Amino acid sequence: MDSTSKRIWNKAAEHIELIAAITSGLLILVGWILSKNDMATVSVIFFLLAFVIGGYAKAKEGILDTIETKKLNVEILMILAAIGSAIIGYWVEGSILIFIFALSGALETYTMNKSHKEISALMDLQPEEALRIDAQGNETLIPVADLKLGDHILIKAGERVPSDGTIVDGSTNIDEAAITGESIPVSKKVNDEVFAGTVNLRGTITVEITKPQEETLFQK
């Protein structure tokens, strides 16, 4: 499998629930058209396919959750309602119920995956290491998690600020777009506050850590 085919396949797999929901909807449409043209037996086949393709993911999720919690859930109830409709001859209504449920689940999964990607991308903005300097001017590269209140860190031009703090030496322009959404750089000088995840655009500044890592604006 070449790279293009693999990329297409991965993209399809990522949206498999949405593809299944849309396929289910198309099968329902074909089944409905057939039923209106006195081909009821054939239409039932399409409705059954719509049930299986559209309802598989939610039925599996509902069954596994029911086994784990020993309680009925909305997935099982919706599947039973759709099956009940089919048993009494309301194939269209039952399959539409499956389609709506499958589509809502697919959209929920899509939204969650998108949010997960955006949060992961945001977390990548924060550096994992910081250059700490002591009273004698010695520089030590340490994990950001090891920074303590009062530590002084050196941030060079082009580097991201690793933790919230106050500038004690130097001046610069800071790109705070990742935090505030503001595209125009902000001028910073001694005693001004800087935030983790922002970018030092020019010059070298020394920053005193003023907040624990878990309480920075970036983490919040």
Give me the DSSP letters along 138-195. -EEEEEGGG--TT-EEEE-TTPBP-S-EEEEE--EEEE-HHHH---S-EEE-TT-EE-
Rounded Cα–Cα distance for residues 14 and 190 (Å): 48
Q: pLDDT higher for 99 or 178?
A: 99
As a whole number, the mean pLDDT across the chain is: 83
Query: Would you state the pLDDT for residue 151?
Result: 87
Rounded Cα–Cα distance for residues 151 and 197 (Å): 18
CB 39, CB 91: distance < 8 Å: no
| pTM exceeds 0.75, yes or no | no
Query: Would you state the pLDDT for residue 8?
Result: 66
According to DSSP, the residues that pair with 160 across neighbouring strands are: 199
What is the residue whose two structure tokens read 């029911």?
Answer: 66
What is the end-to-end Cα distance of the chain in Å, rounded? Answer: 43
pLDDT tens digit string along 188-198? 999 988 888 88
CB 81, CB 51: distance < 8 Å: no
pLDDT tens digit string along 124-162? 667 778 888 887 878 888 888 888 888 898 988 888 888
Q: pLDDT higher for 122 or 212?
A: 212
Query: Would you state the pLDDT for residue 11?
Result: 66
Rounded Cα–Cα distance for residues 201 and 211 (Å): 22
Query: Would you state the pLDDT for residue 203?
Result: 82
Average pLDDT over residues 69-83: 83
Query: Would you state the pLDDT for residue 104?
Result: 85
Question: Is the confidence at residue 82, as pLDDT, over 60?
Answer: yes
The share of the chain scoring above pLDDT 90, in percent, equals: 5
